[in-house]
Amino acid sequence: RRSLSSPLQHHVITVIKPVFGSCSVLFDNVSSLSGVSSATPTEEMNGAGNLMDFLDEPFPDVGTYEDFHTIDWLREKSRDTDRHRKITSKSKESIWELIKSLLDAWSGWVVMLLIGLLSGTLAGVIDLAVDWMTDLKEGVCLSAFWYSHEQCCWTSNETTFDDRDKCPQWQKWAELMTGHAEGAGAYVLNYFLYILWALLFSFLAVSLVRVFAPYACGSGIPEIKTILSGFIIRGYLGKWTLLIKTVTLVLAVSSGLSLGKEGPLVHVACCCGNLFCSLFSKYSKNEGKRREVLSAAAAAGVSVAFGAPIGGVLFSLEEVSYYFPLKTLWRSFFAALVAAFTLRSINPFGNSRLVLFYVEYHTPWYMAELVPFILLGVFGGLWGTLFIRANIAWCRRRKTTQLGKYPVLEVIAITGITAVLAYPNPYTRRSTSELISELFNDCGALESSQLCDYINNPNMSRPVDDIPDRPAGPGVYNALWQLALALVFKIVITIFTFGMKIPSGLFIPSMMAYHHHDWIIFKNWCRPGADCVTPGLYAMVGAAACLGGVTRMTVSLVVIMFELTGGLEYIVPLMAAAVTSKWVADAFGKEGIYESHIQLNGYPYLDVRDEFTHRTLATDVMRPRRNDPPLAVLTQDTTTVEDVETLIKDTDYNGFPVVVSRESERLIGFVQRRDLTLAIKNARQKQDGVVSSSVVYFTEDAPQLPASNPQPLKLRRILNLSPFTVTDHTPMETVVDIFRKLGLRQCLVTRSGRLLGIITKKDVLRHMAQMMNQDPESIMFN
Amino acid sequence: RRSLSSPLQHHVITVIKPVFGSCSVLFDNVSSLSGVSSATPTEEMNGAGNLMDFLDEPFPDVGTYEDFHTIDWLREKSRDTDRHRKITSKSKESIWELIKSLLDAWSGWVVMLLIGLLSGTLAGVIDLAVDWMTDLKEGVCLSAFWYSHEQCCWTSNETTFDDRDKCPQWQKWAELMTGHAEGAGAYVLNYFLYILWALLFSFLAVSLVRVFAPYACGSGIPEIKTILSGFIIRGYLGKWTLLIKTVTLVLAVSSGLSLGKEGPLVHVACCCGNLFCSLFSKYSKNEGKRREVLSAAAAAGVSVAFGAPIGGVLFSLEEVSYYFPLKTLWRSFFAALVAAFTLRSINPFGNSRLVLFYVEYHTPWYMAELVPFILLGVFGGLWGTLFIRANIAWCRRRKTTQLGKYPVLEVIAITGITAVLAYPNPYTRRSTSELISELFNDCGALESSQLCDYINNPNMSRPVDDIPDRPAGPGVYNALWQLALALVFKIVITIFTFGMKIPSGLFIPSMMAYHHHDWIIFKNWCRPGADCVTPGLYAMVGAAACLGGVTRMTVSLVVIMFELTGGLEYIVPLMAAAVTSKWVADAFGKEGIYESHIQLNGYPYLDVRDEFTHRTLATDVMRPRRNDPPLAVLTQDTTTVEDVETLIKDTDYNGFPVVVSRESERLIGFVQRRDLTLAIKNARQKQDGVVSSSVVYFTEDAPQLPASNPQPLKLRRILNLSPFTVTDHTPMETVVDIFRKLGLRQCLVTRSGRLLGIITKKDVLRHMAQMMNQDPESIMFN
């Protein structure tokens, strides 16, 4: 029996690298199975009473995964079913258990309610704070310093309707400090203080992130996608991240950097989701169930970011989530609605609407306009491709060169440049959402915007709503120039901003970048026509096209856009632009910005959308390779404790297949490294007679040994008796499909009943990278 | 070698019943595999030149399934990948091939466009025809008999604005025939003719269905769900069904029966989808790809039924589809939009909106109103439960008793009863969609409806929009009584109508049944308040609640409702009612009306939503059972042609596992019955030397036999080398999950590398029925 130990030591080859596997067993599962079929009476009679006790106690860390490991979805699901079964059978015992089981059944909805309430509240607070701090860069409200410019003048009685933005209570810094509101000196002072504030905000933001929560940087969506696909990044959705991200998000947006709060809000909502998961063991102890909650939380995040509950659900479904059962659909919708409703109650925009940029016009559009809409789609697609390429190139440079070592300096520099360049142009100085709101709107009679400065010819005595017919005044041309400059500036600066070590969202900047475009072309083109085109509509369609090009969303994008603006009529133009934009962008590269960042960071993400079309077979991918030493296996009844310990010491795989004998190579199960270690350690401490030369049995009954032999160690209970197998002739496309749909971590390969090798998720990802001529070594978390 | 034939004949047991399996191989798949690994040079040298030729020719029916069989999703996907690979590799050869490959890539979008155009057009035509024929029951337009009442008076110059419904061109039958428009005689004559027309229409409808297309009856949604889950019902989506369903749908709706056109429109759209699939071999030859198109077509169907493109996509996702990849999401959205847009261009409602029941009010609602909304939800849930139970009980009675033998008589009788009872009440006489439109709307100053007959007190000199403040006039009370009667009548008659052998939809009748309810309660409750409640909103919420109770939709329902009415503000009330209604109804029974009908008809539908929570293992479900004879298997190199032929003759399974030897029981593959039959038949005809005593080889190389032995038959190419296996200890919940997610047809069960048995989809369904204490024999198509 001992003769096997040395071949084992030498023939062992690395099969499952710890980067991917995790270290726990199908423990509940196995114990439930053994309850049905494997716990034969002989087992208890066999002197293994201690073993029973030891195995009935749960292991300290059972059911948890190590950091940066991948979860096994099938196992998580199986564990949840077991838990559910236990609760259901208990619930018949007493009223108290019945109540507990009802509470358990409702806990999902309770978590959703809490997520909705907290993320709605946080979004409201963030909105208010951003408003106030953005205005703080320019001036302060004398009547109450915590009022933003708009609130300040709103509460003032002296404001006239014509000039809502001007009131004596609101003073710019120069006016407050020197008493002079006008003049070059005041302008320079204001300019200087604006930059100073911006630098202060961004410095605070980047320092907080670096010191307290390094995971709070960036948009968070690539990481959330990876986490939802089954990867563990501990602390990424923790309490500290939540707190710091909320604070720094306000600082970063207020600093005037070209970033939006939308992506980070999704991250914030997911942190809320994670937080509330810890209240219920149903979710905190099951990584699969936890991910269902996180999917719903992502929907709530988008819901509050745009006031678009349905769009949020679709965003979660289309863009973020990996497994999205129907149950999650309903719960996401509920969470999204509660969040949107909470935000509406807080009412940060002061218009008691769910809608962020409500558009008032309902002008119909004409079939012929589809041509410019599709052109906008093409432009959006091109811009998306350009943006992704440039941004990824910049981020790669940041990662690989000296640049990455000075993140604080980088943020300060970009903030400085942004502030210096943004202040002189009124369209870049104000906050991005204000700007979008103005661009989306049609000119009305009371509009004070420069863009609506049409020449008012009193002789024509036309009614108010015919404004677009009037010839454009000088203000319009002026505004168009400024907008064009703003467009170029925003495009360039956003490329450098996204990916910095500071909370940053992409939506609003992306939406920004395009309106202008159409204004320039179409405004001039249609001035003679009667009520020819609605410029706001073009801004909307342009925004959709560019966002579509960058993120490759379609349905969710269109729904978000029309929920955002309330324009149900414009669904066809929006759709035309979004689909064109996706097609054009896909022609240049399949990946959206989030997938590109996932790849850049080397997260182990098995994309559902990538189609695997190569002709390889399981045998080409499995380990061991042709010239490798044979597979490290355990035998069911000939390995000793010492052999196992040597195997564990000499290898770093996360688990070992168990076979009947090394000659027959018939597979009977799979045992996890962690359980093996724990089981042997426990047995050596608690079970008398287990020594190094004890034989480890994975069979149902250990044979009656002569008394001179050492006490055997029976480990069938930690054995997973239903490991997943495929034959060596299975095409890789099927294997990839199985890994995706069932969320496996590893899969054993057999040929005519003989164990040949093993394929792990990492092997699959490596193989896919190889097939696409990428460096397979880039696919791991680093 | 021949000694095996008789044990095989006797020990063979029925494993895969032909009801479920289908009869083709993983043929493309296998041939592609052999290209990689199994086609060794020795094979060609081995005198099997003829065999090669024969195998290179595709079998006549390769890749098709028999009627009432289940498809294998993994195989279909694999075949499509192969096809795609071929096209991609060819496209590099010439420009023409490149163009072909581009056309192939775009064919999906072309099919979507065609589906959208055709289903939009058909929906428009159906709407117009129903309008005309519904009015034909009451009278005719003298200026042009093909005008409906509304069109007739619309084109007339003599119509006053106050009484849009009355014009001299439109004459009721009594007026036309006797010259008297008023009086008891005229009323009776109109009444009589109304019933006569109704009977004529429904008789025509039921006869057409019986004679030409029996599949055109019913709503079609249960069957479409089953088809989308992978079942084959040939002709269900055929050209004849399309034609007859369109015609009879018009007749059935016009006859005044309590049924809607929404469900059947989904069926019609799916027929369109199937029709256009046949244009492209990509879809017509692959049942998996075809189902992707059908999912999108279902979305287009709902889109035109309600003018709700987003709701349609969500309906398809939530309610109808089984596999819904992201690609299908985008395409569905496209098809739904094209369909809605086509319908808008036809403009059957004459209001140039996508929206069917556009509501004009945007009154805000109050938090306190959530209480009645939730009560409405409870009512809706109860009604849903009641309706499903009663309807299923009635349908079961129809199936099992004499009643089912006289479908024409039944339709005639129900039509007669409906017509007799419906005519006297103005709310049941008119078409259901007109009624809903009136109920959803708020009373305006110009409204002529009785429901808006508030006492107009000129002394109060209030502005027009304060109408709800006025005390109710006698007309309101009268209307409320009539509505209450209509409610009771509709509830009862709908139970009997749904499920008759005539196209019938459920949406509109379901939506109908509830408004009334709230009117009665809340109208009286709030009359004193200022602008207290919006009755139309209650009607809307009530409709959502009842539809939710009947169908158990949530997100799609809310989206459809708000797209239907354009009321984005009312999403929270709608959601509250829909979720409550679902909860209440789920408490009484998990299944919606469609699932109940699927179960009633015994379709083999593996519901994604049913959670399997029992503790059984694969070994408890697999065949052969404990006392059964052993599994029917083939050996890789010892079976003769005669043995195989006897096995095929004596059993009716759809396939046989192939093992190394009967002693070792090591599985090497799975061979389909149909391929085996075809291969042997072809070999006997075309290949010299293959006789009954020839040995069948499934190995890579046949050994060199002495010349005296008959020529061997090599069949490795029809062998599926990657059959799906699980171990006997796999929990059934995992097996069910695998069947659902991978869409398997069968799965082999092994223990330590030995073949033990087989589990088919039917076994799984039977086992699930058994676990839920249902009759397992009801689960099959009958």
- State the CATH class of domain A2-70+610-778: alpha beta
Calculate mean pLDDT across residues A117-129.
91
Q: How confident is the model at residue A467 (pLDDT cuts 50, 70, 90)?
A: very low
Calculate mean pLDDT across residues B39-54.
37
Calculate mean pLDDT across residues B454-460.
42
* Confidence at residue A243, expressed as pLDDT on a 0 to 100 scale: 92
Q: How confident is the model at residue A63 (pLDDT cuts 50, 70, 90)?
A: low
* Confidence at residue A371, expressed as pLDDT on a 0 to 100 scale: 82
> Over 50: is that where the pLDDT of B40 sits?
no
**What is the per-residue pLDDT across A675-711, written as a single tens digit (0 to 9) for each?**
788 888 888 887 777 788 888 888 887 777 777 778 8
Could you report how far apart the first and last alpha carbons of chain B are, in Å? 42
Q: What residue of A is the nearest CA neighbor of B617?
A: A33
Of B74, B329, B571, which is closest to A318 when you measure between CB atoms?
B329
> Over 50: is that where the pLDDT of B109 sits?
yes
Calculate mean pLDDT across residues A276-294.
90
Calculate mean pLDDT across residues B548-569.
78
| CA gap B709, B699 in Å, rounded | 18
Q: Which of A504-508, B155-159, B673-677: highest mean pLDDT? A: B673-677
Query: Which residues of A are less than 8 Å from B312 in CB distance?
Result: none
* Confidence at residue A157, expressed as pLDDT on a 0 to 100 scale: 60
DSSP classification of residue A472: B
- State the CATH class of domain A71-134+217-349: mainly alpha
A228 touches chain B (CB under 8 A): no
**What is the per-residue pLDDT across B483-531, written as a single tens digit (0 to 9) for each?**
666 667 777 777 666 655 444 444 444 444 444 444 444 444 444 333 4
- Listed in sequence order, the DSSP H helices in A651-779 are 673-686, 732-742, 761-771
> Over 50: is that where the pLDDT of B18 sits?
no
CB contact under 8 A, A563 and B566: no
B35 touches chain A (CB under 8 A): yes
Query: Which residues of B are less than 8 Å from A660 in CB distance?
Result: 752-753
* Confidence at residue B726, expressed as pLDDT on a 0 to 100 scale: 92
**What is the per-residue pLDDT across B221-236, written as a single tens digit (0 to 9) for each?**
888 998 998 888 888 8
Q: Which of A751-755, B1-5, B323-327, B771-775: highest mean pLDDT? A: A751-755
More confident residue, B481 or A473: B481
Same fold, A71-134+217-349 and A367-601: yes
Residue with token string 């005309």:
B132
B36 touches chain A (CB under 8 A): yes
| CA gap B84, B105 in Å, rounded | 9
Provide the percentage of residues in chain B whose pLDDT is more than 90. 8
* H or E element, residue B751: strand B746-751
Q: How confident is the model at residue B453 (pLDDT cuts 50, 70, 90)?
A: very low
Calculate mean pLDDT across residues A596-605.
84
What's the fold here for domain B2-65+610-778?
CBS-domain (3.10.580)
Of B554, B667, B734, which is closest to A722 when you measure between CB atoms?
B734
Instruction: Say which amino acid occupies B473.
Output: G
Q: How close A755 gets to chain B, by Cα (Å)?
A: 8
Q: How confident is the model at residue B187 (pLDDT cuts 50, 70, 90)?
A: confident
Provide the percentage of residues in chain A whose pLDDT is more than 70. 72
Q: Average pLDDT of chain B?
A: 74
Query: Which residues of B are less than 8 Å from A563 in CB distance?
Result: 568
More confident residue, A61 or B152: B152
Residue with token string 């163009």:
B99
Q: What residue of B is the nearest CA neighbor of A576?
A: B334
**What is the per-residue pLDDT across B197-214, written as a single tens digit (0 to 9) for each?**
889 998 998 888 888 887
B555 touches chain A (CB under 8 A): yes
CB contact under 8 A, B731 and A329: no
Of B309, B563, B617, which is closest to A37 when you measure between CB atoms?
B617
Query: Which residues of A are less than 8 Å from B568 in CB distance?
Result: 354-355, 563, 566, 568
Q: How close A336 gets to chain B, by Cα (Å)?
A: 11
| CA gap A43, A40 in Å, rounded | 6
Calculate mean pLDDT across residues A134-156.
78
Predicted structure pTM score: 0.80
Q: How close A393 gets to chain B, by Cα (Å)?
A: 28
> Over 90: is that where the pLDDT of B119 sits?
yes
What's the fold here for domain B370-599?
Clc chloride channel (1.10.3080)
* Confidence at residue A457, expressed as pLDDT on a 0 to 100 scale: 41
B364 touches chain A (CB under 8 A): yes
CB contact under 8 A, A730 and B738: no
Q: Note the CATH architecture for domain B112-346.
A: Orthogonal Bundle (1.10)
Query: Which residues of B are less than 8 Å from A737 in CB distance?
Result: 74, 77, 742
Region of B651 please: left (phi>0), alpha (psi -120 to 50) or beta: beta
Q: How confident is the model at residue B60 (pLDDT cuts 50, 70, 90)?
A: low
**What is the per-residue pLDDT across B363-417, written as a single tens digit (0 to 9) for each?**
666 677 778 788 888 888 888 888 888 888 888 888 788 777 787 888 888 888 8
**What is the per-residue pLDDT across B646-698, written as a single tens digit (0 to 9) for each?**
888 888 788 899 998 888 888 989 988 877 888 888 888 877 777 888 888 88
Of B84, B612, B665, which is closest to A613 when you measure between CB atoms?
B84
Question: DSSP letters of B460-482?
Answer: G---GGGGGGSPB-HHHHHHHHH
The answer to whether A738 and A726 are in contact (CB under 8 A) is yes
Residues 6+ apart with CB under 8 A from A79: A28, A29, A63, A286, A288
CB contact under 8 A, B664 and A753: yes
Calculate mean pLDDT across residues A142-166.
67
B709 touches chain A (CB under 8 A): no
Instruction: Determine which of A155-164, A526-535, B312-321 has the lowest per-residue pLDDT on average.
Output: A526-535
Q: Which of A460-469, A585-594, B144-153, B468-477: highest mean pLDDT? A: A585-594
- State the CATH class of domain A367-601: mainly alpha
| CA gap B679, B674 in Å, rounded | 8
> Over 60: is that where the pLDDT of B17 sits?
no
**Annotated domain spans of chain A:** 2-70+610-778, 71-134+217-349, 367-601
The answer to whether A655 and A671 are in contact (CB under 8 A) is yes
Of B355, B664, B729, which is closest to A721 when you measure between CB atoms?
B729
Q: To the nearest 5 percent, what fractions of chain A are helix, strand and coil?
A: 60, 5, 30
* Confidence at residue A45, expressed as pLDDT on a 0 to 100 scale: 36
In chain A, positions 589-608, which contact chain B (CB-CB < 8 Å)?
A: 608
Of A723, A734, A751, which is closest to B74 when you measure between CB atoms?
A734
Angle at CA A779, nearest 5°, toward A778 and A782? 75
> Over 70: is that where the pLDDT of A750 sits?
yes
